[in-house]
Structure formats: structure tokens, C-alpha cells
Amino acid sequence: MKLRTCISISLILIILIADQIIKVAVKTNMSLFEHIVVTDWFHIAFVENRGMAFGMDFIGTTVLTVFRFLAVGAFGWFLVRCIRSRCPIGFIVCLSLVIAGAFGNIIDNCLYGLIFTESQPANPFYAPVAEIVPFGQGYGTFLSGRVVDMFYFPFWQWPESWPLIGGRTFFGAVFNLADAAISVGAVAIIVFYYKLLSSLLSGSKEN
């Protein structure tokens, strides 16, 4: 049980720290919507959103953050249960990724509006890059912070002749490390641990 606990805590901390380092670096060094081409298939594109993962924006920030708090609490309780039940380490890793990712975006929602000035598009008349300010003097209030996204992978564009999707970029979403952790963890659970998850949720002793 100690090994599973150490792996889980270490992974969550690593994801959280790395996610915040990347976000702060982007927010304090790039103007909003600034675009850096690293390779043809990998860009750094600074955007912010108030809503769901991968740039979707259709739920209020406060409502979404409260939902995330509840979700992290539920997943945390479930993770502790799985550790005590000695579930496979791979399953513990997947749950830890989901928790770390959700909590990483919660930090943005809760604190970024309080500690950063507002990011702005490039403009010759004012400084567009955000700055860290004394707590409470930022661009928003508690729970009003916007999530920072930056990773963009334009692998290819659909042929112009194709209806509906012609000319559009395959997987055009911009996302962050927290989003990636949630997605990787959730997909891995569904693909590799669906039966185990079903048995745990149904109260079965099989694991």
C-alpha cells in the first residue's frame, strides 16, 4: 500500500508543478493569441478559456469550478479506496492523472484572477503580457480565473473537397498539460481497466 501511495502522491505533485510552471511561463512571456511555431506539427498558441477542457467554453467558470471540486473530492475518495484495496498500480496511476489534471485547472480558476493582470493581444499602445501582482489585485475574483492553454498540434488539414470538414485542421483544439493528464488517464481506464472499474463501482470484491 505504501508503494501505491507514494506513486500516486508523487505523480500528482509532478503533474501539478509541471502544469503550473508551463502556464505561468506562457502567461508572463506571451501576449494573448501569440503563436510560436516549434515544428510544422507542434505550435505553442496562448489562449485562455472559462469552460471545459480543450478550449470549449459553454459553462460558467464558477459552476464549472464547483463541479471540478466535487469531482476531485469524489475521485480522491475513490483513489484512497483503490489504494487500500491494492488495485493494480497502473489503475492507481490512471486515477492519479485524472485527479492531478482536474486540480491543475482548478488552480487557474481559483487563483489566476487574483494574482495576474489580464493578458491582452499584442498592441503597440500597452504591454500585452500579464504580470504577477499582489494577491487580490488581479484581473478577477476568486473562481473567476481563466484556464491557460498552449499546446496545439495541427497534424494535417482535411482536403478542401471534403464536405463539412474540408480545409479544417484535424484535432484543432488547444490544450494544456492538465487536460492531457485527464484525457490520458480517462482513456487508459476505459481501454485497460473497464472491467476492474465496473467491479469496483458495483461493489464487487474482484480487483
Q: Kindly report, residue by residue over 97-114, the tens digit of the pLDDT.
A: 999 999 999 999 999 999
* 82, 86, 94, 196 from 203: Cα distances, Å: 12, 15, 20, 11
Number of domains in the chain: 1
Contacts of 129 (CB under 8 A, 6+ apart): 28, 29, 30, 31, 119
Mapping DSSP to helix (H, G, I), strand (E, B) and coil, where does residue 25 land? helix
Quick check: is 164 in a domain?
Answer: no
Quick check: is 103 in a domain?
Answer: yes
Quick check: is 154 in a domain?
Answer: no
Quick check: is 102 in a domain?
Answer: yes
Quick check: is 49 in a domain?
Answer: no
Using the predicted structure, report yes or no on whether residue 124 has a pLDDT greater than 80.
no
Q: Which range marks the domain in which residue 74 is found?
A: 2-37+61-144+180-201
Instruction: Report, as residue numbers or ranges, the catalytic residues.
Output: 149, 179
The reported pTM is: 0.86
22 forms beta bridges with none
In what side-by-side order are the strands of the sheet with 42-49? Answer: 35-39, 42-49, 147-152, 174-175
Which amino acid belongs to residue 166? G
